Amino acid sequence: MTELLLDDEAGRVRAAALLRGGALVAFGTETVYGLGGDATDARAVAGIFVAKGRPRFNPLICHYPDAAAAFADVEANEAARVLAAAFWPGALTMVLPRRPACPVALLAGAGLDTLAVRVPAHAGAQALLRAVGRPVAGPSANRSGQVSPTTALHVMHELGGRIAAVLDSGPCRVGVESTVLDVSGARPVLLRPGGVTREAIEAVVGEIAVGAPIGPSSPGFPSRGALKSPGLLASHYAPGLEVRLGAVTVAADEGLLAFGVPLAGAGVVFQLSAAGDLTEAAANLFAGLRWLDANGTGMSRIAVMPVPMEGLGLAINDRLSRAAAPRA
Ligand code: TXA
Ligand code: MG
C-alpha cells in the first residue's frame, strides 16, 4: 500500500519520518515529481533502482533545502557559487566533485567522484528536505522508460504499491526536468537541457559547452574502455585493477568480490552480500570495487563471483561488465 499524503505540516512530518527510516517517498518539485530516498542510506538508494525497474545504475540527483547544505557535500568553485546565487532555488542541477567527507552513498552517484546537486524552488519540497535533514536522492518518479510524472496521480499510476508514500503537492509548475550542468571542470558543460535555459546560464557565466548526459546509451558511461577517451576521464569511475567476471575459483593474487558463500583462497575479500541479497549487494557494489582497489595492493586483478541475472542483478551485472570490458 502506498500512502497518499497531503503537502501540509502533518503530511511532511510523516513523509520525513518515512524517508529517515529508509523508505521511499515520491514528492513534488517545481520541475517533476521525484522518487525520494535517503541519499546517505545505500539500501534506500538501491531501493530506488528496484522501484524504478531500472536495468542500469544511472547517477541520481541529490536534493538539498539550500545552497549551504548542498555545498557542504560537494566542492563549489566560483562558477558554482555564481550559478547558485542566480538560479537556486530552482530548476538547475549542478555536477560538482564530492567532498572527501560527503555522506552520500556511492551508489547514488553510480560510483562517480562527482555528484549532481539541486535545490528545488518548491516550498513543500524545501520544507520536506529541511524536515528530513539529510540529502534526498531523487530521480524522476516514473518507471524506467516512461515519461516524468507531473502530478501525484501520475506517480500513483507508475509506482503505486512499490513505494511507501506520495506527497501530493499538486501539479508541477515547470513540468520539465531540471537543466543538468557539469560545473566540475574549467568550463561548464550542459549535460541535459531543462527548466533553466542555456541563454540564461550563459548570461551569468559566459559561454558554456554542450555534452552528452551520463546514461546507459552514452559512450562515456563508466567502463575501462571509456576511461581511455580523453575528456571523459575525470568524472568516471572504473577500478584500477582488472576485473574477472563469473569466478568459480579464485587465486591468491586476486581480490574477491564475493556474493554468497565466498570462494576460498583469495588474497583479500569484499563481501557484497553474505545472504545473497541483491538489494544489499547493489548497496555495497561501488564501495566494494573501491575497497578492493585500495586494499588490493600486490593483487593482479579482482575476481567477481556470479550474481544472478534477475531484479537488481541486471543493473549489478551491467555495471560489472562495464568494469570488466577490455581496455581500449
Ligand atoms: O527535475 C529534475 O531534475 C528531477 C527532479 C525530481 O529533481 N530529477 C531528475 O532526475 O530528472 P533523473 O535521475 O531522472 O535525472 C538525473 C540526470 C541524468 O541525466 C543523469 O545522467 C544526470 O542527471 N547526472 C546525475 N549525476 C550525474 C553526474 N555525477 N555526472 C553527470 N551527470 C549526472
Ligand atoms: Mg528521469
C-alpha 301, offset from chain centre: 27
User: Per-residue pLDDT for 233 more than 70?
Assistant: no
- Say if pTM beats, i.e. exceeds, 0.75: yes
Question: Any idea which ligand is nearest the CA of 143?
Answer: 2
Confidence band (pLDDT; 50, 70, 90) for 325? confident
Q: Whose Cα sits closest to atom 21 in ligand 1? A: 214
Q: What does the pLDDT look like over 179-227, one tens digit per residue?
A: 999 999 999 999 999 999 999 999 999 999 998 766 544 433 443 333 3
Q: What does the pLDDT look like over 13-34, one tens digit per residue?
A: 999 999 999 999 999 999 999 9
Question: Any idea which ligand is nearest the CA of 196?
Answer: 1
Confidence band (pLDDT; 50, 70, 90) for 322? confident
Task: Quote the ligand 2 centre to 26 CA distance (angstroms).
Answer: 13
The whole-angstrom separation of Cα 215 and Cα 318 is 12
- DSSP assignment letter at 39: T
Three cell numbers, residue 262: 565466498
Pocket of ligand 1 (CB under 6 A): 29, 31-32, 34, 58-61, 93, 95, 109, 112, 114-116, 118, 138-140, 177-178, 180, 182, 191-192, 213-215, 235
Task: Quote the ligand 1 centre to 224 CA distance (angstroms).
Answer: 23
b/e code 272-281 from CB counts within 10 Å (16+ = b)? bbeeebbbbb
Residue 287: which residues within 8 A CB-CB, separation 6 or more? 42, 106
Determine contact, residues 175/149, Cβ cutoff 8 Å: no
CATH tag for 3-210 (out of 3.10.110.10, 3.20.20.70, 3.40.50.720, 3.90.870.10) = 3.90.870.10
In order, the DSSP letters of 101-151 are T--S-GGGGTT-SEEEEE----HHHHHHHHHH-S-EE--BSS-TTSPPP-S
Domain ranges of the chain: 3-210, 242-323
Position 214 scores a pLDDT of: 63
Q: Which fold has domain 242-323?
A: Rossmann fold (3.40.50)
Q: Whose Cα sits closest to atom 10 in ligand 1? A: 139
Determine contact, residues 209/188, Cβ cutoff 8 Å: yes
- DSSP assignment letter at 74: B
Question: Any idea which ligand is nearest the CA of 93?
Answer: 1
Mean pLDDT value of segment 128-140: 97
Backbone CA torsion sign across 16, 21, 23, 24: positive
